[in-house]
Each structure stands twice: as C-alpha cells, then as structure tokens.
Chain A
Amino acid sequence: MSPAAARETFGAKRKAAIFANVVLMGVLAIAAAIIVVYLTGFTTVKARFDLTRQGTYTLSAETERLLSSMEQDVEVITVFDRSRNFWWDTEQVRVKAMDFIADLLQEYKVRGSGKVAVTHLDPITQNAAILDLFQQLGIRDYNVVIVRGATGQRRVLGLETDLVDLDFGSPEPFRPMQLLAYRVEEGLSGAIFEVTQGKPAKVYVTNGHGELSLNDARDRGLTAVGALLTQDNVVVEPLALNVAKAVPADADAVLILGPVEPFLPDERAAVEAYLRSGRARLVVSIDPFGDTSLDPLWQSIGLTLERNVVCHDQGGTMQAVGASEMVVGPQAPGRYGSHPIVDALNESQRYVVLSRSMGLSASAGAENTFTSLMTSHADAWGDLPAASGGPGNYKWDANQETKSQRTLAAIVEPRGPFTGAKVVFFGSDRWAWNAFMTASLNQHARGHFDLARRCVSWLVGRRKSIELAPRRVNQVFSDLRPEEYDDILLYIVVYLPLAALGLTILVGFARRR
C-alpha cells in the first residue's frame, strides 16, 4: 500500500472511530439525562417545597395519603366562566377563587403521580364540548369542577356551593362581594375519594300521589334535585309503591316529596314496614294542604303535623317576603338548629326559604329523639284553618292563634318498634321545587342545593372522607393611588433604563481607557 493510500485509510478509520465515539457519547448523555429526569421526577427522590408565606399550596397529609394510595385514574375538569361577573364584585373575588382552584389542581396533578388528569374547558372556545358534558351530567350552570373516576362515578362541585365561602354582598345597598374562605382541598379530596373508593348511594323517590316528579321540569318539579343528587354520585330512581309493594332492599334512602293524593292501604303498609325494618331513611316533605293519609304513621313515630301555616308579620323589614314565607338563615330571624345537615349552612351563611310551611312538633309522650333543624321567628303563629282545605288569612287571630317559635323542619329518630329509622321531615314541599332550586346563583338557591344534598348525605351515612378547616388566604394588596402608579411608570420605564444605560456607557469608557 502506498503511503498516500495508507494515510487515506488511516484518516477514514480515524474519522469513523471519532464518529462512533461522538454518537456513543451523545446517546449516553441523552440516556443519562433521561435517567436523571426520571429519577427526580417520578420516584421518591422527588421533593417539593412550598415556600409561600402561608403555605398556600401545601396539601394536607390526608390528601397526600389519598393521592399516593390511589389505584384508579381520575379526571378533573373545570368549567369556569371568568367573563361573567357581578358589578358589585369589585375585587373580582370569584375570579381569584377560580385562579386559586386552578393552582391547587396543579398540585393535585403534580402529586397525583400521573393518576390525576386536569382539563380546563374554556366556555368561549370549547363551548360545544361543555354543552355535551353538561347534557351528559345534567349540569345547568358554569363554574363547576367535575371529578370523574375510571369506573364512571362522578362528583360535580360548584364554585360557590362546595369550594369557596363567599359573602355575596349586595348591589343595593352597595356591599362588595367578599371571599370568606376556601374549601377547595376538602371539596376536591372528598370528591376524589368518593369517585375512587366510595360507592354510589341509591335513592328512591315515590310517585303516584301527585308528588314532585323527577320528570317534571316545571316550577313544581324535581328535575333540579334529581340532577343535583346524580352529580353527587347518587343514583336516583322513581318508586311506584303500588307496583313494587315494598321499598326495595337496595334503597339507601327514600324521598316522599309533596304527596297530595292519599296512599293506598298497601302503600301505607309498605312505608310502615320500611319504617319498622330498622334501615329506614326517609326525607318527607308535606305541604300543609297535602296528603294526610300517612299522618297516623307519623304520629306513631312521635311526630305531629300541626296542619297550620306558620306566619310572621315581617314588619316591613323583608319587603319581598310574604307573611307565610320563612327565611331561615344565620342572620335572619329564623334559625338553624344544631345538626350536621344544617351546620354547614349556618357556617357558610346560607339561607333557605320555607314557603307556606306547617309547624311540626314532637307528639306528647312519644319515645323518640326529636331534633329541630329549622325554626321560625320567636313571635310567629300557626295560621288556621289550614286543615279545612283552604289557606288561612295569614293574619294573627288572638282568639285561636298564639305566637311562639315553631319548628319548620325536624329529624325524628323513633324508638320502640321503629328503632333504627331516621326521618327528616319538612312542613312544606316548596323548598325542593325546581323554582327554588334554579334561581340561578342567588343566595336561596345555594342554600336549597346544600340542604337537599346534606339531607341525603347524612341519611345514607356518607361521611366526609376528609375534614379540613376552611383555608383563609390573606393576600398582600398595595394601596397605590393613580398618581403613584404614574410615578412608578416613570421610575421603572424611563429613569431606571436611562440610569442603567448611562452607567454601562461610563463603565465601558472607563474600561477602554
């Protein structure tokens, strides 16, 4: 081989060796990078530190345990409409709440080891997808967080009903909306727990007696409650007692809402048998002028329906409220009792309107536990004669009506042959009407939503999987006046760049010399 050829061969070999070396080193470097990223991102080597002053993004130990023990994937979808606002929400507290929820969801996603997928749907650009989803789940309004498990279980959390406590303020007289506290972690973790580890409750709603109907979307219908419970991971089905003859064994609770026609003897027997079964869980709402055929049964568990209409002279203090409407709330004259069903309503300052409600009382000598949930004003009266079939005149008649605080809703836990039964009783069916549930975003609708859900949750024994104190987030606000904003603009956009430029030029000249 000539020296030139040998040089060429040597050169080619050298190039090939260098090339192989470069490729190998490159591949090794990329592999090392992937290993490091994997180890630090997906294994226990990973650590995350919340350096914010208030530990804003630190999830509770319970949530951490829940996320680390999850075996199913969970999809969390937010549908927030940031553009719709109330003019008296001058500090945009709802938008801030939405931002906080989105931030905290990132923490869930990051700490969920890939099992939590978060999607934010935009009402403007993804409206078709949102409508599709809303139709599937019976959702009526924006500003919800939907949590879905792999097995199809779901919870729908409302911004104002489940995730934040707001003081809604008022436009007239002007009082701006205020953010009281966040319940985001409690809501989200509870929902994730339910859809991954809980089982849906089954609730039956009786029909055939003129009750509020699950298929009736008009004012006196129950479609809103049906949708609400479905979103709450509850399976809701109608129950025709005249056909079934008994309450199904898989019933976690039965709702008897607004019957106006009498129950047949077989049906009464079925309800009684259910009450005697020891597993009875009932929500009963009966209008003062509604069905009376079950009254003896209620009497036997120790509950007397007064068949009057509780009225109160509002004295002009509540202009939109009639004499027979009781506004029950923490700041209203009517009051909540002390029970898990109404405690949260009390804490979150939510109202319920009980319209045309009769009074309820414990039967004399009855053996039961009678817990008053809601009471009227201290000087209300039970207007008569409701029992004769027509409304009273809603005026106080000193001869036959006495003024005193009346119970409007109560829980009866009877003893004796009915031991084990739990009955939540309302002296009016109107609170559950669509008309009261869908008064979009007003204070009362949110109270009624909460009331319906909490009644069922308590009856079916659904406990909160995670109990967390509401989180108060204090943010630092500057109190700059408009002219101070202008000063800041001048400082940072004009003076500072000029100063920096001058300094740089000076240093440059000095160095050149």
Chain B
Amino acid sequence: MSQTRAYLILAAREVESYFLAPLMFLVFTVFLVLNGFAFYLSLGDAAGNVDLAVRNFLGGSLLFWINILLVPPLLTMRLVAEEKRTGTIEGLMTAPVQDVVVVLAKFTGALCFWIALWAPSIVYLLILRGFGSLPDPGILATSYLGVLLLGALLLACGLLASAVSPNQIVSAVLAVVFDLLLFFFPLLSMQMPQGALRRGLEHVSVLFHFQSSFGKGVLDTGVIAVYLVGTALPLFFAVRALESRRWS
C-alpha cells in the first residue's frame, strides 16, 4: 500500500470519527451557539457597520478568542493520547505506515472538522445579504483565511500535546498551555526597548497579526509564513514524539 493511499484512508477514518463521536456533536452545537451569539453581538457593537461587524466577529471579540483558545484542544486531545490509552496505537505503529503519514492524517481530520465548525458562519453573511448589506469581500476572504491558518496552527500544537501526553485530560491542558504561550509570550515585546529581539517577537505575535493583517483585509506573506511554519514545527515534533515509542 502506498503511503499516499494510507494517508487518504487514515484521514478519511479520522474525519469519520469526528462526525460520529457524541462529544463532537456537543462541541459542534455549543460552538455554533457561541459563534452565532458572537456574530449577533458584533453586529450590534458595530452600529450597523457590516465591515466592522465582520472584523469584530472574526478576531475582534472576546468570544472569538475564547472559542479559538478552547476548541482546538478539545478537538485534538484524543487524537494520539486516546489511542495510547486504549492501546490501539500499537496496531498503528506496527502497520506499514510511516509516522509522518499518521500525524498528517490525524491533523487533516482535525482540520476538516475545524473547517466544518466554521462553515455555517457563511450562512450569517447570507442572512446579512438577505437584509441588503454585504461586507467587503476582501476582509471576508482574509479573515476566513486567518481563521483557517490560526486553526491549523493551534490544531498542530494540540496534536503535539496529544502525542506527548499519556491521556486526554493532560493533552487538553497541555494544548491550552501551548496556546496561551503562543498568544501571550510575544506580548513581552511591548515591555522591551526597540531592537532585533522586540521586532522578532512582534513578528511572531499571532494576536498582533490577526488584527494587523487578516482582520483588516490585508494579506502579508510574512504573516502567512509565520502561521505555516508555526504549523509545520509542532507537526514535525509530533512525528518525533510518535517515533520515540520505537526507541524504547
């Protein structure tokens, strides 16, 4: 079996498992309620300015960041940790599938569910259009791209947390800690004097980029690179973590 085919089968299995897990029904519903409420509040806060409402909804409200902080760890906590707990990981490890394929398949599954979580919010915009006002398509496109890239980054961190944790609870807590570090560590730059370190920290600030780029309708290759590299690095270490089972 080729690795590509193995990847497709494993990714399909992961996607299916998300949509069949009762916990995910709950996550999905709660997420939609919170998101809907966030959109409603954003529209009210923006005093009818639909572009501003979109910016508030996608990156400018507390509810958005609560969702962003808590949902990815919930999605990824079981990915590897649960397989370790139930022992099914042994089967996976002994199958003729490379570790990188396993990690990528699990990541793909989580990312597909993340996209599915956000897809219904397109309906909000259709509703707005029904009432006669459509936000700036540029801001919409970059905001959703931002949500996708940010989701990928946090899911990758969650996957790494799951790969190094013995169970789901530890995995979820560790993922939240990773996310908090990712959000708040670069903010130390605000206390630093001008210089290379400050510039470097500012450049990897996920919070800053969301407001300065995606949320405004501006696409920056440097920002995209930060997100992509930030996604690839935890995935790389997740592969190493899986491999480590073979060394012992």
Interface residues of A (CB under 8 A from B): 15, 18-19, 22, 25-26, 29-30, 33, 36-37, 39-42, 45-53, 56-57, 73, 91-92, 96, 99, 103, 106-107, 109-110, 114, 117, 475-480, 484-485, 488-489, 491-493, 496-497, 500-501, 504-505, 507-508, 511-512
**Contacts beyond the supplied A492-B39, A500-B28: 5 A-B pairs with Cβ under 8 Å:** A51-B142, A52-B216, A103-B216, A496-B123, A508-B20
- Residue pair A476, B136 in contact (C-beta under 8 Å): yes
Mostly, the B contact residues are helix
Partner of B233, one of A30, A52, A504: A30
User: In this assembly, does B185 line the interface, its C-beta being within 8 Å of a C-beta of chain A?
Assistant: no
User: In this assembly, does B96 line the interface, its C-beta being within 8 Å of a C-beta of chain A?
Assistant: no
Residues of B in contact (CB 8 Å), total 65
Contacts A33-B232, A37-B229 hold; do A511 and B20 have CB atoms under 8 A apart?
A: yes
User: In this assembly, does B62 line the interface, its C-beta being within 8 Å of a C-beta of chain A?
Assistant: no
23 contacts between A and B (CB under 8 A): A18-B247, A22-B240, A22-B243, A29-B237, A33-B230, A37-B225, A40-B222, A42-B203, A51-B139, A52-B139, A103-B216, A106-B216, A117-B194, A475-B52, A476-B49, A478-B128, A484-B131, A485-B43, A492-B124, A493-B37, A497-B29, A497-B32, A511-B19
- Residue pair A48, B229 in contact (C-beta under 8 Å): no
Contacts A18-B247, A41-B222, A57-B216 hold; do A478 and B48 have CB atoms under 8 A apart?
A: yes
- Residue pair B247, A15 in contact (C-beta under 8 Å): yes
Interfacial residues of chain B within 209-248, with CB under 8 A of chain A in the complex = 211-213, 216-222, 224-226, 229-230, 232-233, 236-237, 240, 243-244, 247
For residue B142, which residues in chain A have a CB less than 8 angstroms away from its CB?
51
Kindly name the residue among A25, A40, A45, A53 whose own CB sees the greatest number of chain B CB atoms within 10 A.
A40
Contacts A53-B137, A504-B25, A508-B20 hold; do A475 and B49 have CB atoms under 8 A apart?
A: yes
Mostly, the A contact residues are helix
- Residue pair B133, A500 in contact (C-beta under 8 Å): no
B123 to chain A minimum Cβ distance, whole angstroms, is: 6
- Residue pair B19, A507 in contact (C-beta under 8 Å): yes
- Residue pair A53, B138 in contact (C-beta under 8 Å): yes
For residue B127, which residues in chain A have a CB less than 8 angstroms away from its CB?
488, 491-492
A-B pairs with lowest CB-CB distance, top 4: A51-B138, A492-B36, A40-B225, A41-B222
Partner of A477, one of B32, B49, B216, B217: B49
A499 to chain B minimum Cβ distance, whole angstroms, is: 9
For residue B237, which residues in chain A have a CB less than 8 angstroms away from its CB?
26, 29
- Residue pair A492, B225 in contact (C-beta under 8 Å): no
Contact with A along B41-75 (1 / 0, CB 8 A): 00110011111100000000000000000000000
For residue A106, which residues in chain B have a CB less than 8 angstroms away from its CB?
211-212, 216
Contacts A485-B44, A496-B36, A501-B25 hold; do A49 and B19 have CB atoms under 8 A apart?
A: no
- Residue pair A47, B218 in contact (C-beta under 8 Å): no
Contacts A25-B240, A57-B216, A501-B28 hold; do A33 and B48 have CB atoms under 8 A apart?
A: no
B237 to chain A minimum Cβ distance, whole angstroms, is: 7
A281–B2 alpha-carbon span in the complex (Å): 84
- Residue pair B221, A476 in contact (C-beta under 8 Å): no
For residue A492, which residues in chain B have a CB less than 8 angstroms away from its CB?
35-36, 39-40, 123-124, 127
